[in-house]
Amino acid sequence: MKRRRFLSSSLVYVILIVFSLIILMPLIWMTTTAFKTKTEIFSMPFNLLPTKANLDNFANAWSYAPFSSYYLNTVITSFGLLAIQIVTITMAAYAFARLHFPGRDFLFILFLTQLMITPQSTIFPNYLTISQMGLIDTRLGVMLPYFASAMGTFLLRQAFKSVPESLEDAGKLDGCNTFQLIRHVFLPIVRPTLIAFSIISVTYHWNEFLWPLLVTETSRSRTLTVGLTIFAQQAEGGAEWSLLMAATLIVVGPLLIAFTVFQKLFVQSFANSGMKG
């Protein structure tokens, strides 16, 4: 009996170790290659680790392409968008959770239909709209279609509904107006929901590719993921793998570090997002 249990638990470890290594392989490969010299990559016999860590590839990648602009654009679009989304979803969620007005429930259902109309299926008409607004190759053009978020409104409405009536009344007695009430009573209580929404929103927009690829044209608005593929197209001929892997690491680094440090928070946010839409 004991022996069997030992066998089955070792089997669990073997399966997990094998799959973990396979899934980790791209990360390991990217990281080790990024520190290698060009000749080391093709050297025989093959070494996984670079003989010595050199940072030239990072310096070169950074100087060959305007990664600092790409960084700035990505930070502004993902965090700027988040700031705007928090304002729009807070306003709407409060109205749907706490106010009574004619047509409220119908309007809420209409809101939720956004969850069914995925952004990818509307890239073409939205591109035409952004282009008619004269917003091609601007950061605003990248962000604009996402200003309203049904998912965020939905999550926050649920959270607002759980705020006790008595707290709201106490706030009103203290002479808070609606905006002060939201700011000082509601938002502090729903912080976990706000953090979860923020993590998901920033991750999604930091990693987004197709939409910014279409809307951006120069380094004025281009984001990291798009900049990286442009960089790769230019470097392709020479098979500059170490350079390319360094550039890729520059792009994926921040989120990966954030995830490593706040693993629990990220995992919880993603676990809760799925079932709630």
34-37 LR contacts (CB < 8 Å, sep 24+):
34/58, 34/242, 34/245, 34/246, 34/248, 34/249, 35/242, 36/242, 37/242
Choose among 210, 254, 237, 227: nearest CA to 62: 227
Q: Count CB neighbours of 25 within 10 A.
A: 10
Separation in Å, CA 247 to CA 71, 225, 227: 12, 10, 10
47 binds other proteins (CB under 8 A): no
| Binding map of other proteins across residues 150-189, x = CB under 8 A, - = no contact | x--x------------------------x-----------
Among 72, 176, 189, 213, binds other proteins (CB under 8 A): 213
Among 1, 2, 3, 23, binds other proteins (CB under 8 A): 23
Q: What angle do CA 197, 199, 201 make, to 5 degrees?
A: 65
237 binds other proteins (CB under 8 A): no
Choose among 195, 165, 216, 203: nearest CA to 269: 195
Least distance CB 199 / other proteins (angstroms):
10
40 binds other proteins (CB under 8 A): no
CA-based radius of gyration for the chain:
24
Restricted to residues 93-152, the positions that interact with other proteins (CB under 8 A) are 94-96, 99-102, 104, 107, 111-118, 120-129, 144-150
49 binds other proteins (CB under 8 A): no
Least distance CB 188 / other proteins (angstroms):
19
260 binds other proteins (CB under 8 A): yes
88 binds other proteins (CB under 8 A): yes
Q: Return the range that interacts with other proteins (CB under 8 A); candidates 52-60, 134-142, 164-172, 242-250.
A: 242-250
